[in-house]
Amino acid sequence: MKEYDILVIGAGAGTKLVTPPSLIGKRVAVFEKESPGGTCLNRGCIPSKMVIYPSELIRMAKDTEKFPVFFKERPEADVEKIFLRVNETVKQDSDSIPIAYDKNPNIDFYPKQVRFVSERVLSDGTETYTAKHIFVVTGTRPHIPEIPGLKTTPFWTSREALSPDKFPKSMIIIGGGFISLELGAAYQAYGCQVTGLTRTEILRTADGDIKKELSNHLPFPIESHYQIEKVEFENGEFRVTGKTKEGKSTIHTAERLLVATGIRPNTDDLGLENTKIKTNDAGYILVNDHLETTEPGIYAFGDVIGRYFFRHSANFEGEYLFEHLYGPKSSAPIQYPPMPEAVFTHPQIASVGFNEEELIQKQIPYYKGVNPYSSSATGMARMSDSGFVKVLVSEETEEVLGAHIIGEEAANLLHQIVLGMYLKAKLDQYLGMIYIHPAISEITRNAFRKVRDEKQKRIKK
């Protein structure tokens, strides 16, 4: 049996517990059954944004006529070259990870699948491994729904959509979440005829006002509350049969079908049954406030624990574990700061904290301020006809409870509010700072002014 100080299963966010501890003398073994870098680098955040950004340039060019600015020819994209660049860049970055590990005498990289064969022992089928600390960072994979006929067809997941063998002229997307909205918007901009189908609401967990605004400015047609009955593939064409929310039977056809109906944890092939590690009903690993599993000395973080599904949250958890276990001695539990999220679709969406429906359900008193992009100097300059900043402020403490933005640069615009929440800034402090005129941040200032107005109205009552 090979013994190490640390075993890491998963070379995605798991890398947070590879190089840093190796630099303080810990012997580390890291296992990865696919390409190093995890979902974010290979099949998620990075390649998707490399696909999305050029598509935004096309949308911007098409939107110039209202100013009026005209191009002699309509903007076009060499989609094949765009995807080629994406895949070459991703492969180069992924390939560089084992090379860096090979140069470090304290790291052994194993491009193998491992599973638990007993409580603290891993096996790759040939060798066995053990360590004082084991980290499970195996992430998730696409969830494939039980739709009659689907699994016998050559459907896509996000993996194939980010590395297409041929760019399609038409595509159906099943699902109405992050992946559907992001990739569907990009494909539509590049000239693919995209149709979305989802059995629930679009962006189901978003703030109600965000969902309403998005529904009025969808980047491609999406039919919500659609019940899919079967999927067929014949002569290079997909046929999706189902019923609308009114009960009308319809058939949608397209060259490609992308399934983006959520994710499931990569825990079913880890041999957890040979350990004391417990999971919830959905298969996500249960951890305590120190990210330790029900097996002492074995930790888990990232998507596989089902708390947050972002690389930035996984990085935060990995950094916490490094400091908690190998930094200055601390028994403090993990404390998450405000956790922002963004959907890089068109229009862009960004959120942090509670949405309004959650505050109503929890009966938390709040003030609300909503300011459209158009109600600002920069909105006037950009001729914005959609988008808003919405802030929800505690009636008791006057600190921000949540913020929701839809429109240009939403992900960047959100960060001043995220910082304010982290520092527990109050309404007067958001109003007291000076905002550059006429910057896009004035839209946020105006939203806080709306909160002040609502507060004053309640006081007068």
Instruction: Give me the amino acid identity at 366.
Output: Y
Note if 437 is an active site residue.
yes
Instruction: Give residue 331's pLDDT.
Output: 82
* Mean pLDDT rounded to a whole number for the chain: 96
- Span 344-360, average pLDDT: 98
**227-234 sheet: strands from edge to edge:** 227-234, 237-243, 249-254
Q: CB of 388 within 8 A of CB of 371?
A: yes
Domain coordinates in residue numbering, the chain: 2-141+264-326, 150-261, 347-460
Q: How confident is the model at residue 75 (pLDDT cuts 50, 70, 90)?
A: confident
Cα 451 to chain centroid, rounded: 29
The pLDDT tens digits for 404-428 are 999 999 999 999 999 999 999 999 9
User: Rounded to two decimals, what is the model's pTM?
Assistant: 0.95
CATH superfamily assigned to domain 347-460:
FAD/NAD-linked reductase, C-terminal dimerisation domain (3.30.390.30)
Q: Which helix (H) or strand (E) holds 119?
A: none
- CA angle 385–387–388, rounded 5-degree value: 125
- CA–CA gap between residue 305 and residue 321 (Å, rounded): 14
Read off the pLDDT of each residue in 431-457 and give the average, rounded to a whole number.
96
**Gap between the Cα atoms of 50 and 343, Å rounded:** 14
Annotated binding site for NAD(+): 175-182, 262
Place of tokens 């058939």: 251
Binding-site residue ranges for FAD: 49, 303
Catalytic residue among 290, 324, 346, 437: 437
Going by the annotation, the residues of the binding site are 49, 175-182, 262, 303
Residue pLDDT, tens place only, 263-282: 999 999 999 999 999 999 99
The CATH code of domain 150-261 reads: 3.50.50.60
DSSP 379-402: HHHHT--S-EEEEEEETTT-BEEE
pLDDT at site 62: 86
Lowest mean pLDDT among 69-78, 244-253, 296-305, 386-395: 69-78
pLDDT higher than 90, residue 329: no
| Nearest-angstrom CA–CA distance, 119 and 274 | 6
Number of helices followed by number of strands (H, E) in the chain: 14, 21
Rounded distance, CA 86 to CA 206, Å? 29
Q: Could you tell me the two tokens for 159?
A: 């993996």
Q: Please list the alpha-helical segments (H only) found in 114-236.
A: 158-161, 178-189, 208-216
Count the alpha carbons within 13 Å of 336 in the hemisphere toward its beta carbon: 16
Which of the four pLDDT bands, split at 50, 70 and 90, describes residue 72? confident
Q: Let me know if domain 2-141+264-326 sits in CATH 3.40.190.10.
A: no
- The pLDDT score that the predictor gives to residue 288 is 97
Bridge-based pairing state of the strands 249-254 and 237-243:
antiparallel
Share of the chain above pLDDT 90, in %: 95
pLDDT digits (tens, 9 = 90+) for 17-47: 999 999 999 999 999 999 999 999 999 999 9
Please determine whether the domains at 2-141+264-326 and 150-261 fall in the same fold group of CATH.
yes
